[in-house]
Structure 1
Amino acid sequence: MIIVEEVQNEKHKKEFLEFPAQLYLHDKHYIRPLNKHIEEIFDPQKSKFFKYGTCKRFLFKKNHKTVGKVAVFINTCYEQKQPTGGFGFFDCIDDQQTANFIFDHCKNWLQEKGMEAMDGPINFGERDKFWGLLIEGFTEPLFGMNYNPPYYKELFENYGFQIYFEQFCFTRPIFAEVSRVFTIAYERNRRNPAISAQPMKKNNLKKFAKDFTEVYNKAWASHGEGKHIEEAKVLKMFNTMKPIINEHISWFVYENEKPIAMWINLPDLNQWFKYLNGKFGFFEKIKFLWLKEFKKNEKMVGLVFGIVPEWQKKGIDGYMIWKGTQHLREHTDFTTTELQWIGDFNPKMIKIAEALDTTVTRKLATYRYLFDRNKEFERHPIL
């Protein structure tokens, strides 16, 4: 018999954090997320998403031993064709009956609140972290990326989940030859005196936050379920990122003084966090600073790439990538870059990634389950 316990006290919170470490004890690729990054998601004082929805966490026990966990939630920030809830931070032993029990619990909880479908595993937050089930490429996860054993795919699909969209991660060696198409685009645009490229600098984050906001809202906000982003929020994000910003790897392109494109990258923090075992107290912070200073990080992560509509298909992507790549080759230790996931519903970005001569090195999937099993299933619309 499986017992359900809602996460309500410090003992429950600790078990929610510790269970994955036990489950993946012998998995050499698993990197434990920092406890603080998980707990902040479920803290109403720190997560804005409690203003737009509700969330509960549960532990599942059999014979007094934890066999699974999950967070289930409603987030009204994302518009869907039918009322759709979500769940994430799912972990489970390799047992279909146990997984079915957890999925049923999520379904019942959401149905009671008027939902007609559920997506998972997703985040009670933005799509840039803890989103999707790993189905190919079981290697060390990037910072903020879900990781799970291969058997999870069967647990989901045997229950009846269907893929709502696939998420591709593309990798490219930094010193591989830049595409000839991009080289030509660079040569063409560099002769235009109005066009210039600048790396992001820590001492002027207010300016770059403003430029990011302008490019993002023009390039992305009108896409599907996208939302306009506020400059104040971007500046807060940049200030939070400031200690780990590398000034050689994030670039903006301008027409005169007007921002028209951006390419935002960060070092992969998991290359340092994997030595901290989920903790970030005083001693771990000292260790992190030491690692950051002396432990070479050879992997960077592409977070956002955007070009304003009036400059798309004019080679600005090639200009920015060629100039940025030449610079970071000279000034950094990075040997590989991995583009954060791109959904199969975004063929434009996939084409850009492919034009970089990248290789798909991992694939995740966002699954959907319709409560009315007679209703026609539809995948995420193409942008």
Structure 2
Amino acid sequence: MIELLERDFASFFAAPFHAYGADTLYVSPMKADLKRFLSIKNPLFSDASDITYFSVKRQGKPVGRITAHLHRGSNDLHHEARGCFGFFDCANDPEVAAQLLQAAESWARAKGMTRLTGNFNLTAMQQAGIMTDGFDRAPFTDQIWGPGHLPGLLEENGYKAHFPMTTFERRLDTNPAPQVLPDEQRAQLLEQGFSFAPVTRATIAERLEDARAILNCSFKDNPMFVPVTAEEFHFQAKDMKWIMDPRISKVVHYRGQPAGAVIAIPDLNPLLRRIGSRLRLSLPYHYLKYKARRDRAVVIFQGVMPEFQGRSVNPLMLSEMTRDMMAAGYKTVGGTWIAEENAASLRQTEKAGAVPLHRLHLFSKELT
């Protein structure tokens, strides 16, 4: 017997743990963060009716979940009537998958949407896609992981894969400096007026606003991109100052104005796995233990203002970041998704010595 539930957060959070088991590579966001993202407090949603979420129980145990939501900013900008699904996690159970997808489709159709696409957790600028390759490779923070049966469940329900994406990983201990910026060229850039703006807990609000300005300018021509408001950006980055390592993010200014940024954080997934993504009394102990041993980081954003592209700002940032990561004991750095159609970014990533980690696709279905 299966039971479909709507807006039951306890079962929604628990579903992937039951569906996949303890031995998989799945890592959940913190329970409190996930609840906050799905609430009306999230400025992405104009009102509570823009998002709902479903879970399915089989014999009383939650074994699947999905969100159904609207990204009105995306639809307005790109002239679409697209509904989104996200956080699609499901046991290898066709009946459960069909219940979840039909619930999301009915919700989107009632909103007047003509297409349903996902995963979006919750926008294209956050976690996106369904994993289609690399299932045996551990994800970094802000990367999606899902088991190999999810694409098949979607296809059985009429969804088609499109928009291929790749995430990357780079070993710093075996491939430390493939993109070296000569000292002479670095000195010339600094003499021209480029400088590194301090990234500390005291300046994090200013640096994140620099990053948002760079994001909106440097990504404006990318497919699916929607400019991110200050409210949305800071809502997503609310707790970053508590988890950041000030040594590994870099913001470059040109004569006092933001020119480029690479924002990196330690990979929190080992810690989240240890605590089950829940607040516990033992969290301080586990955090100190994790902090002493952490050796993985993830770049969550990297961009250069259009007027400074082609002026070696990116090599300047990456060389500085790589050097400081290695000095801080990091051995591996991951990167969030890059679309296959973004050939320039793919070349730049491969030039930096990164290798593919996961393959992902969006999955869509026309709603009739």
Range into which the TM-score falls when normalised by the shorter chain: 0.7 to 0.9
2:43–2:232 contact (8 Å) kept in structure 1: no
Q: Distance in 2 between matches of 1:240 and 1:371?
A: 38
Name the residue aligned to 1:121: 119
Mapping 1:266-345, distance limit 5 Å: 266-281=265-280, 283-294=281-292, 296-330=293-327, 332-345=328-341
Partner Cα distance (2:164, 2:194) in 1: 36
Give the structure 2 partner of residue 378 of structure 1: none
**TM-score normalized by structure 2?**
0.88
- 1:368 is displaced (CA, Å) by 1.2
Taking every aligned residue pair, what percent have the same amino acid on both sides?
20
TM-aligned CA deviation for residue 67 of structure 1: 4.3
Query: Residues 343-382 of structure 1: matches in 2 within 5 Å?
Result: 343-372=339-368
- For the residue of structure 1 that corresponds to 2:27, the secondary structure is coil
Describe the superposition over 1:107-162 as per-residue Cα deviations: whole angstroms up to 9, x where unpaired: 22211221100012222x34354422122122322224332211111111232222
CA distance in 1, matches of 2:206, 2:19: 45
1:181-239 deviation digits (Å, cap 9, x = unpaired): x435x643422412333452222234423432332232123544433344566566666
Answer yes or no: is the 8 Å Cα contact 2:18–2:61 preserved in 1.
no
In 1, are the aligned partners of 2:66 and 2:86 still within 8 Å (CA)? yes
SS of the aligned residue for 1:78 comes to helix
Q: Does the alignment pair 1:160 with 2:158?
A: yes
Corresponding position of 2:102? 104
SS of match in other structure, 1:348 = helix
Alignment length (residue pairs):
361
Change (3 A) 1:275 1:212: same
Residue 88 of structure 2: aligned partner: 90
Q: CA deviation at 1:244?
A: 1.4
CA contact (8 A) 1:200 1:208 kept: yes
Runs (5+) with no aligned partner, structure 1? 373-383
- Asked if the contact 1:205–1:235 (Cα under 8 Å) also holds between the matched residues in 2, the reply is no
Tell me the CA shift for residue 81 of structure 1: 4.7
Name the SS of the counterpart of 1:178 in structure 2. coil
Question: Structure 2: where are the runs of 5+ without partners?
Answer: none
Q: How much is the aligned-residue C-alpha RMSD, in angstroms?
A: 2.5
Moved over 6 A (4+): none
**Which residue of the partner structure matches residue 4 of structure 1?**
4
Q: 1:69 aligns with which of 65, 68, 74?
A: 65
The question of whether the paired residues in 2 share the 8 Å contact of 1:169 and 1:361 is answered with: yes
Alpha-carbon contact 1:205-1:239 (below 8 Å) kept: no
Q: 1:333–1:179: structure 2 CA closer, same or farther, 3 Å change rule?
A: closer
Report the 3-state secondary structure (helix = DSSP H, G, I; strand = E; otherwise coil) of the residue aligned with 2:264: strand
Structure 1 counterpart of 2:363, which letter? Answer: Y
- Name the CA distance, whole Å, in 1 between partners of 2:336 and 2:256: 29
Deviates more, 1:231-240 or 1:320-329: 231-240
Q: Whole-Å Cα distance in 1 between the matches of residues 235 and 39 of structure 2? A: 18
State the Cα distance separating 1:265 from its structure 2 match: 0.5
CA distance in structure 1 between the aligned counterparts of 2:90 and 2:232, rounded to whole angstroms: 35
Give a deviation string over 1:28-59, Cα, whole Å, max 9, x none: 42323321122112222x21233165222223
| 60 and 50 in structure 1: CA distance in 2 versus 1, 3 angstrom threshold | same
Secondary structure at the counterpart of residue 15 of structure 2: helix
- One-letter amino acid matched to 2:146: N
1:334 is displaced (CA, Å) by 0.5
Structure 2 partner of 1:377: none
Matched, 1:253 2:252: yes
* Matched-pair contact (CA < 8 Å) for 1:31–1:140: no
Give, as a single letter, the amino acid of the residue that structure 1 aligns with 2:20: Y
Q: Which amino acid aligns with 1:31?
A: V
Give the Cα–Cα distance (whole angstroms) in 2 for the partners of residues 223 and 232 of structure 1: 21
2: CA distance between counterparts of 1:367 and 1:22? Answer: 24
Which of 168, 171, 185 lines up with 1:170 in the alignment?
Answer: 168
Structure 2 distance, partners of 1:32, 1:221, is 30
* Change beyond 3 A, Cα 1:334–1:90: same
1:276-325 CA distances to partner (integer Å, 9 max, x unpaired)? 012114x043234423443x111100111111112112222112212222
**Equivalent of residue 190 in structure 1, options 180, 187, 190:** 187
> In 2 relative to 1, CA 61–163 (structure 1 residues): closer, same or farther, beyond 3 Å?
same
Kindly state the Cα deviation for residue 344 of structure 1 after the two structures are TM-superposed: 2.2
Matched, 1:24 2:20: yes
Partner secondary structure for residue 101 of structure 1? helix
Residue 49 of structure 1: SS of its match in structure 2?
Answer: coil
